[in-house]
Chain A
Amino acid sequence: MRRFLIVSGLILAILLIIQLFRPERNLGEIDTADDFIQVSQVPDTLASVFLNSCYDCHSNYTNYPWYGNLAPFSWILKRHIDKGKAQLNLSSWAVLDKAQKISRLDQICDECTNGSMPLQSYLLIHRSAVLGADNIEAICDWAEQESMEIMSSGE
């Protein structure tokens, strides 16, 4: 019994101490002129899919879950968000050049199609972010069309 108390007390103490290490949160401007949905004029139905399934990790603003402030979850979230934004930050879509945009659009379609995005661990908690076959088809069709437009747009 005494041992049990000591161990659980220790665990509690560790859990409390790690709360002191708070990573910076991803709560930047939501609506910027460089945003993907604005710049590419993504149709409304698709825009809501992107906002719901991608923007938490691929933009400057995350809709945090209730445990988002709780270590060690806060650290895991921070890592996913950092990695996601390094690959593709939809909040700064406008800074990409034409070839980069086309490349990202192609990757968006590919990764949704082969199921590597959204992340399985994300989908486990965000059930509504699961992309249906119809969603994926719509994303790919639109992405291809947008790429063609970018290709033919002289600058």
Chain B
Amino acid sequence: MEREINIVLEKYHFDKPLFYFSITTKSSPDTLYRVFPKEKRLFIKHLTKSFSDKDVAFDFLQSMERINDQQLLYGIYQTKNLDELENLILKSDLKSKGELYEKFTELKSSGQNYERLIPKFLWNGQENRFHNWISGILHGDLGRSISDGLLIKHRVFPALRISGLLGGISIFVLFLVSVPLGIWLAVKSNSLGRWVPQILYTIDAMPLFWLAELFILFFASNFLFQLFPSFGVGTGESIQFSHFVLPVLSLVISAMPVIVIQTMAAVEKQFKKQYVLALRSKGLENKKILNKHILRNALNPLITLFTSFLPATIAGVMIVEYVYSIPGTGLLLLDAIAKYDYPMILIIIVLIGLVKMLANLLADIGYRLADPRISFI
């Protein structure tokens, strides 16, 4: 049993210290991190902190090894103070109770440990969990999931492919639809400007998950129409695009109002500028003013919008994946959280951070391309 536990601990690097250094007290042993389970580790820490005589504490731990009752053992590990420990030992029906109690009284009579006031700095070197994790990531080894022991990269990258496809299609469709719509509304703002924003604000107030569920109710159940599938990405290995219709639709509709309104505001702001008046007085057509001059100038706020919008899309993709049971990263994250699978959660959160960083980089390049006056040097 002990050997098997050790093999598992070694596999996940749990038998190593957490970080390059650790700050403890002088009383606690140097290799405490090797003790498993966690409850036992904490108990030993408490014991070594409390008693000055190390041999007596060691004797007590030795006699505790003989306890076969796991429930009692864990009860002892979780005791909060000495009285609780004494009660637990006295109440138990062990064979070696007398010996244990004898050791306990010996322990109780020993003095307080003053060494717990002195801080100690321990240098663990490169053999630690953080170093293992970060160097693994840099080498392309993302570690193993706790819940099923599989390599994380075998699960994350296929999921990432599906999520990327879903997010990519939705962002593409979203900008394809909303930016022209925003420009058109800005041009026609006199006649439509009153009630179109109101409708957009109303759509904006709908939560995405509700919208997605409404689509299921209306278009994928026997309530109204049964037009599209509402589950998964298709049979077998292939991805069928009919499965993507409702997810993309709900993502696009829930995100559209913000983009349309912002585009509208950006274009309208340019319309009021002096150079538009100058161009008009020169005799340029309105169409040319719009296409050649205004759109170029309105590009920067749109790029900002794109970057600030990407995190929302990631969250949206997660919600949509949950609603439509699409096996992407979002569903993987929710699954990992339900199973307390920390290595997996960490990798997915790091991926989300990376996407955001990439978006910021792209935006900076985009600013430079859209407006050559901007320089970063």
Whether A and B are associated in the same complex: the answer reads no
Q: Which residues of A contact B (CB under 8 A)?
A: none
